[in-house]
Amino acid sequence: MTDSTAPIGRRRILIAGSAAAAAVGLGVAATAGRAEAEAESPRVAPAAATVCTLTKELTEGPYYLEHALVRSDVSEGKPGIPLQLALTVVDNATCAPLNKALVEIWYCDALGEYSGFVGNNGHQEPDNGKFLRGGVLTGSDGIAKLTGIYPGWYRGRCIHIHLKVHTDVTLTSDGSFTGGNEIHTGQLFFSETVTQAVAKLSPYSTNTVPRTTLNADGIYDGGGAASGLLTLTALGSSPSAGYKGTLTVGVDPDA
């Protein structure tokens, strides 16, 4: 059940942390050490190398299904704590936001089951082949906003969400999409501290499959935001209120 660790291609992509998102409109972002100085001198533009970190794409894994629905809420009523995603897609050469790029996600539920493959993690539950799958088009600001639940886990992998970015897709009458160019395949990862808190809550606590930690995962390489690690912000005073995850994903639109 473990995803293959082989990369799916040789394209290089750029993933910057959410701290860079505020500077997307300028095409550059300050490093943490320069933030205060640049606030006083907004015309200062650091080199692009200080903005973005290049990293290889990550495996698609065995659970991808085509013809996902174009929709912002992928939860399909699945139990779990709320998760909001705000993913900013930018051109890796200029850091300019990509408009009308389709950002697609898919991931397992609290018991580690993927829609279309239920039973692979040892739990039997209704399977409509659609839950926790879907995508949305970015706006002119490059942001794709999606909602769902915090992922669960299955044997051999840490908690993660799969991600694809497509350009030039055609929306179809059945609520899906077709055509276009697939310019990025990767994964999103979660803070181990947050995951530990979530794992104590129901229904996650009923998942008896041993959980692989972030640092023990065979695909996450410890690179932080450059490797897809989300910045998580609590939506309330307790873990049960849920989290918002943000990340800026840079791609080569001509790939």
Per residue in 151-206, pLDDT (tens digit) is: 999 999 999 999 999 999 999 999 999 999 999 999 999 999 999 999 999 999 99
What is the pLDDT at residue 58?
A: 86
Mean pLDDT across the chain: 82
pLDDT tens-place string over residues 82-137: 999 999 999 888 888 999 999 999 999 999 999 999 988 888 889 999 999 999 99
Dist CA 97 CA 140 (whole Å): 7
Which H, E and C letters describe the chain, residue by residue?
A: CCCCCCCCCCCEEEEECHHHHHHHHHCCCCCHHHHHHHHHCCCCCCCHHHCCCEEECCCCCCCCCCCCCECCECCCCCCCCEEEEEEEEEECCCCCECCCCEEEEECCCCCCCCCCCCCCCCCCCCCCCCCCEEEEECCCCCEEEEEEECCCCCCCCCCEEEEEEEECCEECCCCCEECCEEEEEEEEECCHHHHHHHHCCCCHHHCCCCCCCCCCCCCCCCCHHHHCECEEEECCCCHHHCEEEEEEEEECCCC
Backbone angles phi, psi at 20, to 5 degrees: -80, -15
User: Coil, strand or helix: which one is 183?
Assistant: strand
What is the pLDDT at residue 59?
A: 86
What is the pLDDT at residue 40?
A: 36
What is the pLDDT at residue 227?
A: 87
pTM to 2 decimal places? 0.80
Contact 190, 146 (CB under 8 A): no
User: Coil, strand or helix: which one is 224?
Assistant: helix
Average pLDDT over residues 236-246: 97
